């Protein structure tokens, strides 16, 4: 094969012995030839590239690690799987098998959970928009509805009238926990008295019975103490309501937000250094529960962690399509997957592993996706070795938020494969073809091209 001409460039190579920082970054590279014992080459041969791969083993292990960490410290713990983080039926079903109930934030997700056989009373229904029809369905099916705003109170009161019954509801609150910017757009504000006003409204009408409090302070929260503040404020509020209005708060839903082991753009240290362990979150949270609950009270506690459980179970295999030299001297690659499949690329710095040994020094490189779109960049500035067309990159972790927030833009979405605990290989979402894209499109007869 003829070699392509490349303009020579000069880059500074820092050679030398291994030192306390490890070997020179100009030669170090991360190689991955398999996922859970299945060869990358086999996966691509069978299912194509790009390809999302999920590890059932790692998903179950992570769930159990979280569950055990909390349930050994507090007796009434239930996890609600945050559907929006990843609502592939196979992923949800693994977590439901492990004992998680469903946490949904829209009618679509609610229907999805019901479709997977989850009964209404095992669905936590959150979110700022619940239409009247969905609310009525959720009430009839006895879902745990966490009210987000005043209009939802009025809607639920109408439904209570229509069905001629009182409805048990929870309420989402927001508050200052030391995490900024504060997520104040969801739920009713506790610090300002707004949340108490909402309770008074419910009590005065007598149609809704408040039995739960919910809060979700944000995502990728690195401060374990923020949860302790959240819990202290919620429980104090809960007792205040109980004392004033003779309502019993039966559950506290403390939301999600635990980080995964992914480096955020703009951070210097590795997640292993910056991120508290699962046990540290569990310790902070359960200590705050025991410190603030009155003797003998052990209400149900729900945890809605999404990212923390699923992110590291997901990989994306993508292939190098070509490389070129940019005028500024940087090496540029085009890969067959980009931000169309990797919504989290905007703030994540993925682990990048390659499927083979390659020779040559590493260079600052930029990896573009396949889109005709200037912002389609997976990685800029990392030191990568010279890679030929066909080299596979394995990006991780990508299990959270990508396969729900991906976008339909000029490309088909690829296969998603689940590797079972005994290395079973199952497609859990089939690659799209043109019929998926055009199925709902309509062409008025008068616009059809004449023969
Ligand atoms: C998104 C969301 C979660 C999950 O958040 P993570 O940061 O992925 O753990 C939990 N609860 C609610 C209400 C959410 O909106």
* Top CATH class, 57-309: alpha beta
Please, are residues 62 and 313 in contact by the beta-carbon 8 Å criterion?
yes
Cα–Cα distances in angstroms (integers) from residue 56 to residues 199, 379, 437, in the given order: 43, 27, 29
- Residue of 122, 123, 146 whose CA lies nearest to 208: 146
| The two three-digit tokens of residue 426, written as one number | 């199952």
Taking the centre of ligand 1 as the mean of its atom positions, its distance from the CA of residue 82, in whole angstroms, is 6
Is the minimum distance from the CB of 174 to ligand 1 under 6 angstroms? no
* Top CATH class, 34-53+312-430: mainly beta
Please, are residues 115 and 93 in contact by the beta-carbon 8 Å criterion?
no
Taking the centre of ligand 1 as the mean of its atom positions, its distance from the CA of residue 137, in whole angstroms, is 23
Rounded to whole angstroms, the Cα distance separating 96 from 211 reads 24
Please, are residues 73 and 283 in contact by the beta-carbon 8 Å criterion?
yes
Residues 6+ apart with CB under 8 A from 91: 54, 59, 310, 418, 428
Is the minimum distance from the CB of 120 to ligand 1 under 6 angstroms? no
User: What's the pLDDT tens digit per position in 103-151?
Assistant: 999 999 999 999 999 999 999 999 999 999 999 999 999 999 999 999 9
Is the minimum distance from the CB of 318 to ligand 1 under 6 angstroms? no
pTM of the model: 0.94
Rounded to whole angstroms, the Cα distance separating 384 from 27 reads 9
- pLDDT for position 15: 53
Domains of the chain by residue range: 34-53+312-430, 57-309
Rounded to whole angstroms, the Cα distance separating 221 from 228 reads 12
Residues 6+ apart with CB under 8 A from 380: 366, 367
Is the minimum distance from the CB of 362 to ligand 1 under 6 angstroms? no
Taking the centre of ligand 1 as the mean of its atom positions, its distance from the CA of residue 337, in whole angstroms, is 26
| The two three-digit tokens of residue 449, written as one number | 């091209």
Is the minimum distance from the CB of 260 to ligand 1 under 6 angstroms? no
Taking the centre of ligand 1 as the mean of its atom positions, its distance from the CA of residue 103, in whole angstroms, is 9
| The two three-digit tokens of residue 333, written as one number | 């690659």
Q: Where are the beta strands (DSSP E) in 65-105?
A: 77-82, 101-104
Pairing of the two strands 348-349 and 263-264:
antiparallel
Length reported for the chain = 451
User: What's the pLDDT tens digit per position in 356-405?
Assistant: 999 899 999 999 999 999 999 999 888 999 999 999 999 999 999 999 99
- pLDDT for position 266: 80
User: For residue 50, is the peptide bond before it cis, meaning its omega torsion is within 30 degrees of 0?
Assistant: yes
Confidence of residue 451 (pLDDT cuts 50, 70, 90): confident
Taking the centre of ligand 1 as the mean of its atom positions, its distance from the CA of residue 8, in whole angstroms, is 49
User: What's the pLDDT tens digit per position in 65-83?
Assistant: 999 999 999 999 999 999 9
Return the bridge partners of 333, or none.
323, 367
Taking the centre of ligand 1 as the mean of its atom positions, its distance from the CA of residue 143, in whole angstroms, is 18
- pLDDT for position 445: 95
Is the minimum distance from the CB of 106 to ligand 1 under 6 angstroms? no
Please, are residues 412 and 69 in contact by the beta-carbon 8 Å criterion?
no
């Amino acid at each position: 094969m003829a070699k392509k001409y490349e303009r020579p460039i000069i880059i500074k190579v820092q050679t030398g012995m291994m030192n306390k920082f490890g070997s020179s970054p100009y030669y170090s590279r991360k190689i991955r030839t398999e996922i859970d014992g299945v060869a990358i080459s086999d996966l691509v041969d069978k299912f194509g590239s790009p390809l999302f791969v999920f590890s059932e083993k790692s998903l179950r292990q992570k769930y159990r690690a979280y569950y055990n960490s909390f349930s050994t410290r507090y007796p009434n713990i239930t996890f609600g799987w945050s559907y929006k983080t990843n609502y592939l039926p196979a992923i949800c079903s693994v977590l439901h098998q492990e004992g998680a109930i469903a946490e949904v934030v829209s009618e679509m997700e609610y229907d999805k959970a019901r479709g997977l056989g989850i009964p209404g009373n095992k669905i936590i229904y959150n979110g700022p928009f619940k239409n009247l029809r969905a609310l009525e369905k959720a009430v009839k099916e006895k879902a745990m509805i966490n009210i987000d705003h005043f209009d939802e109170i009025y809607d639920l009161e109408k439904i209570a009238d229509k069905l001629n019954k009182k409805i048990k509801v929870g309420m989402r609150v927001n508050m200052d926990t030391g995490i900024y910017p504060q997520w104040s757009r969801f739920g009713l504000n506790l610090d300002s008295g707004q949340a108490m006003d909402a309770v008074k409204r419910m009590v005065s009408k007598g149609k809704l019975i408040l039995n739960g409090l919910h809060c979700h302070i944000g995502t990728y929260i690195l401060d374990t103490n923020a949860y302790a503040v959240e819990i202290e404020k919620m429980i104090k509020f809960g007792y205040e309501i109980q004392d004033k209005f003779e309502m019993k708060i039966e559950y506290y839903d403390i939301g999600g937000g635990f980080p995964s082991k992914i480096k955020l753009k703009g951070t210097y240290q590795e997640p292993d250094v910056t991120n508290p362990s699962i046990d540290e979150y569990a310790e902070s949270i359960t200590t705050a529960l025991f410190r603030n609950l009155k003797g003998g009270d052990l209400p149900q506690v729900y945890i809605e962690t999404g990212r923390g459980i699923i992110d590291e179970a997901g990989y994306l295999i993508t292939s190098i399509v070509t490389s070129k030299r940019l005028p500024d001297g940087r090496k540029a690659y085009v890969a067959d997957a980009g931000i169309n499949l990797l919504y989290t690329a905007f703030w994540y710095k993925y682990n990048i592993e390659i499927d083979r040994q390659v020779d040559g020094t590493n260079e600052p490189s930029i990896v573009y996706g396949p889109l005709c779109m200037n912002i389609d960049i997976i990685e800029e500035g990392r030191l990568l070795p010279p890679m030929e067309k066909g080299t596979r990159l394995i990006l991780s972790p990508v299990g959270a938020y990508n396969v729900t927030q991906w976008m339909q833009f000029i490309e088909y979405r690829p296969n998603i494969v689940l590797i079972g605990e005994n290395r079973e290989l199952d497609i859990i979402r089939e690659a799209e073809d043109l019929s998926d894209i055009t199925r709902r499109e309509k062409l008025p007869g008068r616009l059809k091209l004449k023969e």
